[in-house]
Amino acid sequence: MTLHEPIDKRPQPGAVAGFVPRDSEDTLARHLLRPMFFADREIVLLAGFDAYARLVGLESAIGDATGRCIITPQCWHRLLGRRVATVLMAHNHPSGIARPSDADARCTREASQFLRLIGIDLTDHLIFIESGHFSFRGAGLL
């Protein structure tokens, strides 16, 4: 008797759409982005890639005492001045909860719309915690 796997397998119990466990992260997430986050405060990273998927710029915004990160126009200007074709947003949640907040969702939506107007694709927005990261694209939110 041969056991065949169904085409659309159900996710494992407790699996959350868009969550990638730390041991399954790709090279970019594991070796470039993850080491740049502090455990005690939130940081936003904007990684810009050219048309050949080469990293051409990396900008960061460090959270203030309230934990809020503000991506300034100067940060966007420095990144976009490098003629990027795509942008990857990433930030961490020191709380250890990977679920995106309403502010995270709003920021992602606004960044995506802004970048689309100037012909740049927002490839994903990742939220890092100790055990892995949440992907807006993986969850179908982008």
> pLDDT at position 15, please?
56
Indicate the domain borders of the chain: 19-56+68-133
Beta strands in 41-99 (DSSP E): 43-49, 55-62, 86-92
- pTM higher than 0.75: yes
Evaluate if residue 91 carries a pLDDT over 50: yes
How far are the Cα atoms of 50, 95, 138 from residue 40, in angstroms, in the given order?
Answer: 32, 9, 26
| Dist. CA 104–CA 110, nearest whole Å | 10
Q: Higher-confidence residue: 15 or 66?
A: 66
* 58 C-beta neighbours (distance < 10 Å), count: 16
* CATH class belonging to 19-56+68-133: alpha beta
